[in-house]
């Protein structure tokens, strides 16, 4: 069965057209037909104004119109489009829904943070050995961060906790990290704010039983590319790579100390992440540190690495159509 999924977040809009098949182990798997991402910054200014800006809606419409043409030419039988943090927060989200209906021919689903967390888990663990669980899957988006814990049993996810935090790379940049580069005071304030929210989120999860920490989305994959000093962005190298806490912290410190012009020339850096990767990497570094502390009592020792997955909520949306 050929399906299409569209994930419209605070920073980017992404398309996946894929074929779904069920393997002998009962797990559903995707074979990509077309995968694409564009940074449209739908959430530009939403944290301050509470509204989707006209220019942000226009950028999103242009990308969605192209995506609609692609998925139709590929013969997708079913389509699911989800909108997340920026749209949830916007007072004028009806304008966004109307634009999508006119362009795609169906309404988007403005999903809750809980639903976003669950879909991120399904996508994030898709290529991971189920025996390696229980898992903590984290999606650091533009406007929110989703955390979900659970295992995979008989090919199906069994979740034990999920939480969505109003903390993301765009939100923390627009609210605090305004300098170029951010000042020492801004960095300290951002760390304190992120650490407080993340601590509260982890307290709602059975973290002590977690065996593996998996991070998905563009922040995590960009940090992995930086940690490995890749000469170009290479999804095959990044997918399921393990990055240690010292390397994550080093990348975060480097990104926060660099100017936007410096970040822009890095060979693996997507142009749409140049201004927000410092905030995103800070969130990931603080979270890995907190996860290590929370798992210090495990017989096998604390979790000190993060597994970075190229698959996330977009894959979860596609798999949900099976």
The residues, ordered by sequence, that sit 6+ positions from 59 with a Cβ below 8 Å of its Cβ are: 40, 41, 42
**DSSP element (H, E) containing 123:** helix 113-124
pLDDT at 26 over 80: no
* 230-234 average pLDDT score: 96
In tens, the pLDDT along 284-305 reads 999 999 999 999 989 899 999 9
Kindly give the pairing relationship between strand 2-8 and strand 78-83.
parallel
Quickly state the pLDDT bin for 112 (edges 50, 70, 90): confident
pTM of the model: 0.88
| Positions of CATH 3.30.420.150 in the chain | 125-313
Give me the pLDDT at residue 87, please: 84
Q: Are 315 and 121 in contact (CB under 8 A)?
A: no
125-313: what fold? Answer: Nucleotidyltransferase; domain 5 (3.30.420)
3 state SS of 139: strand
Q: pLDDT band at residue 253, thresholds of 50, 70 and 90?
A: very high
Return left, alpha or beta for 321; rule: phi > 0 is left, psi -120 to 50 is alpha, else beta. alpha
pLDDT band at 111 (very low <50, low <70, confident <90, very high): confident
More confident of the two residues 116 and 205: 205
Mean pLDDT of 208-227: 96
Identify the architecture of domain 2-113 in CATH. Answer: 2-Layer Sandwich (3.30)
The token pair at 73 is: 């030419």
DSSP-derived letter for residue 25 is T
Within the chain, which residue ranges are assigned CATH 3.30.420.40? 2-113
Instruction: Provide DSSP, 216-236.
Output: ESHHHHHHHHHHTT-SS--HH
Helix 218-227, helix 277-294: angle, nearest 10: 90
């Amino acid at each position: 069965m050929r399906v299409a999924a569209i994930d419209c977040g605070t920073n980017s809009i992404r398309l996946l057209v894929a074929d779904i098949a069920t393997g002998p182990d009962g797990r559903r798997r995707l074979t990509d037909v077309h995968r694409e991402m564009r940074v449209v910054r739908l959430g530009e200014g939403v944290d301050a104004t509470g509204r989707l800006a006209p220019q942000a809606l226009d950028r999103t419409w242009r990308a969605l119109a192209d995506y609609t043409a692609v998925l139709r030419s590929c013969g997708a039988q079913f389509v699911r489009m989800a909108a997340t943090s920026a749209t949830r927060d916007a007072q004028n989200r009806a304008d966004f829904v109307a634009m999508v209906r006119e362009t795609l021919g169906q309404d988007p689903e403005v999903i809750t943070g809980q639903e976003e967390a669950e879909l991120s888990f399904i996508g994030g663990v898709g290529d991971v050995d189920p025996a390696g669980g229980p898992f903590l899957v984290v999606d650091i988006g533009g406007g929110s961060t989703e955390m979900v814990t659970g295992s995979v049993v008989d090919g199906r996810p069994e979740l034990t906790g999920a939480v969505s935090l109003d903390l993301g790379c765009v939100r923390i940049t627009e609210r605090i990290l305004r300098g170029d580069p951010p000042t020492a005071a801004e960095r300290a304030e951002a760390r304190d704010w992120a650490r407080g929210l993340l601590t509260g989120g982890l307290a709602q999860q059975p973290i002590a039983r977690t065996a593996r920490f998996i991070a998905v989305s563009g922040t995590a994959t960009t940090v992995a590319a930086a940690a490995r000093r890749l000469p170009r962005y290479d999804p095959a190298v990044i997918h399921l790579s393990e990055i240690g806490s010292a390397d994550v912290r080093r990348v975060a410190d480097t990104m926060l100390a660099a100017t936007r012009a410096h970040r822009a020339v890095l060979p693996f850096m997507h142009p749409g992440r140049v201004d927000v990767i410092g905030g995103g990497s800070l969130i990931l570094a603080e979270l890995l540190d907190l996860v290590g502390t929370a798992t210090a009592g495990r017989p096998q020792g604390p979790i000190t690495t993060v597994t970075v997955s190229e698959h996330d909520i977009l894959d979860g949306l596609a798999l949900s159509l099976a």
